[in-house]
Amino acid sequence: MKIAFYLALLVVTISSTVADFPVASSRKLMCALTPGSKTNCCNDIVCPEDDPPVCGSDGVTYPNSCELSFANCNNPERNITQIADGVCAVPQVST
């Protein structure tokens, strides 16, 4: 009976420790530390849906700054930056 108690205690301790570990961040860090990696680390980005839209330097209105960062991650050669809060003057909404 004591063994079962200690095993259960060990499982709870390990589970709570693992639950606090940021998995996505670890994957991003691993991708960043692996030069020439074929892994697309951009797919680890999870964007909130309730942030306000932003205007990118490419003239595209992005749903939020996270989505702009996601687009920039997938197309680093474009070097997209946020130039304004809200929608762009010439609306080209990104989907």
For residue 16, the SS3 value is helix
Q: Between 2.102.10.10, 3.30.60.30, 3.20.20.70, 3.40.50.620, what CATH number should domain 51-95 receive? A: 3.30.60.30
Q: Is 5 left (phi over 0), alpha (psi -120 to 50) or beta?
A: alpha
Please report which residue ranges of 20-90 form alpha helices under DSSP H: 23-32, 65-74
pLDDT tens-place string over residues 10-53: 444 444 433 333 333 344 444 444 555 555 677 777 788 889 99
pLDDT tens-place string over residues 51-87: 999 999 999 999 999 889 888 888 888 899 999 999 9
Domain ranges within the chain, ordered by starting residue: 51-95
Cα–Cα distance between 71 and 24 in angstroms, integer? Answer: 18
Q: Which tokens sit at 79?
A: 């070097």
